[in-house]
């Protein structure tokens, strides 16, 4: 990013202005009129995100449940004046009317953030609160550096932590989907096809 772009990023702007200014190579989110820049992802982050995208997208496509997208793609929570770029998001088929070319209007049904030292405070704090208030159905935080994964499901309008059963977590918003925690923390993760075969969705 050059000096002019940094000066623009420092200015307050509407979400429409942000969309016009930001391109797919810009690492930024929009928070109440301010542009928040973030650092490029690490190799480990990229590998976990790649596994999640392949695994979730493959499952959702085979089951014809909706759409899976990855960063950079905006999720715009208008009442909160926030536009975040989750690492992975899932939108149910019945909610695809809110999906635009460059952003999702309103909450995703499932959001996954792969956290790092640089983003940990946002992912465990700000984003957890925003996604709960904004109506996200389910939120996963994958923390490869700490070797932990946290899962939250919406119950009664609130996020409730849900713990894996013998290392296996079952989604509340993606019908029939389960995931082994070890898949998310392995370095590198297994091929998505291996995981999908274990779920029995491909031969």
Looking at the predicted structure, is the pLDDT value of residue 28 above 80? Answer: no
Look up residue 49 and give its two tokens.
């995100």
Of the candidates 100, 73, 92, the residue with the CA atom closest to the CA atom of residue 84: 73
Count of structural domains within the chain: 2
pLDDT of residue 78: 92
- The C-alpha torsion from 80 through 82 and 86 to 92, rounded to 10°, is 50
pLDDT per residue as tens digits for the range 181-191: 999 999 999 99
**Domain identity same for 68 and 108:** yes
CA distances in angstroms from 84 to 13, 42, 75, 123, 184, listed in the order given = 15, 19, 5, 11, 22
**Domain identity same for 84 and 121:** yes
**Domain identity same for 128 and 195:** yes
Q: How much is the pTM?
A: 0.83
Q: Which one-letter DSSP state was computed for residue 135?
A: T
**Domain identity same for 33 and 49:** no
How do beta strands 178-180 and 168-170 pair?
antiparallel
Looking at the predicted structure, is the pLDDT value of residue 3 above 50? Answer: no
**Domain identity same for 186 and 153:** yes
Angle 193-196-202 from CA coordinates, rounded to 5°: 90
**Domain identity same for 29 and 126:** no
- 28-32, 46-50, 177-181, 193-197: segment of lowest average pLDDT: 28-32
**Domain identity same for 81 and 164:** yes
pLDDT per residue as tens digits for the range 46-70: 999 999 999 999 999 999 999 999 9
Q: Domain of 93: which CATH number?
A: 3.90.1570.10
pLDDT category of residue 167 using cuts at 50, 70 and 90 = very high
**Domain identity same for 75 and 106:** yes
Of the candidates 145, 89, 95, the residue with the CA atom closest to the CA atom of residue 113: 89
- The mean of the pLDDT values for the chain is 89
Of the candidates 124, 16, 12, the residue with the CA atom closest to the CA atom of residue 76: 16
Q: Which one-letter DSSP state was computed for residue 166?
A: T
**Domain identity same for 115 and 91:** yes
Host domain of residue 7: 1-37
How far is it between the farthest Cα atoms of the chain?
53
Contact 178, 168 (CB under 8 A): yes
- 9-13, 39-43, 58-62, 182-186: segment of lowest average pLDDT: 9-13
Q: Which one-letter DSSP state was computed for residue 79?
A: G
pLDDT category of residue 151 using cuts at 50, 70 and 90 = very high
CA distance linking residue 191 with residue 54, whole number of Å: 8
pLDDT category of residue 41 using cuts at 50, 70 and 90 = low
Contacts 24+ apart (CB under 8 A), 8-16: 8/35, 9/35, 9/37, 10/35, 11/35, 15/76, 15/78, 15/81, 15/83
Looking at the predicted structure, is the pLDDT value of residue 131 above 80? Answer: yes
**Domain identity same for 47 and 138:** yes
**Domain identity same for 50 and 33:** no
**Domain identity same for 94 and 14:** no
């Amino acid at each position: 990013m050059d000096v002019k772009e940094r000066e623009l990023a420092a200015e307050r702007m509407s979400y429409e202005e942000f969309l016009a200014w930001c391109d797919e190579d810009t690492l930024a989110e929009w928070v109440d009129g301010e542009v928040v820049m973030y650092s490029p992802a690490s190799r480990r982050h990229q590998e976990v995100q790649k596994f999640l995208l392949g695994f979730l997208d493959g499952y959702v496509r085979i089951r014809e449940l909706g759409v899976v997208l990855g960063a950079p793609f905006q999720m715009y929570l208008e009442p909160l004046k926030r536009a975040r770029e989750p690492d992975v998001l899932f939108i149910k088929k019945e909610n695809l009317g809110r999906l635009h070319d460059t952003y999702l209007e309103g909450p995703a049904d499932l959001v996954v953030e792969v956290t790092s030292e640089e983003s940990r405070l946002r992912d465990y704090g700000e984003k957890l609160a925003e996604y709960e208030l904004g109506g996200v159905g389910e939120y996963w935080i994958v923390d490869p550096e700490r070797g932990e994964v946290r899962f939250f499901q919406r119950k009664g309008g609130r996020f409730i932590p849900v713990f894996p059963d013998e290392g296996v977590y079952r989604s509340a918003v993606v019908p029939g989907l389960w995931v082994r925690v070890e898949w998310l923390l392995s370095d590198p993760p297994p091929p998505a096809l291996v995981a999908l075969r274990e779920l029995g969705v491909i031969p």
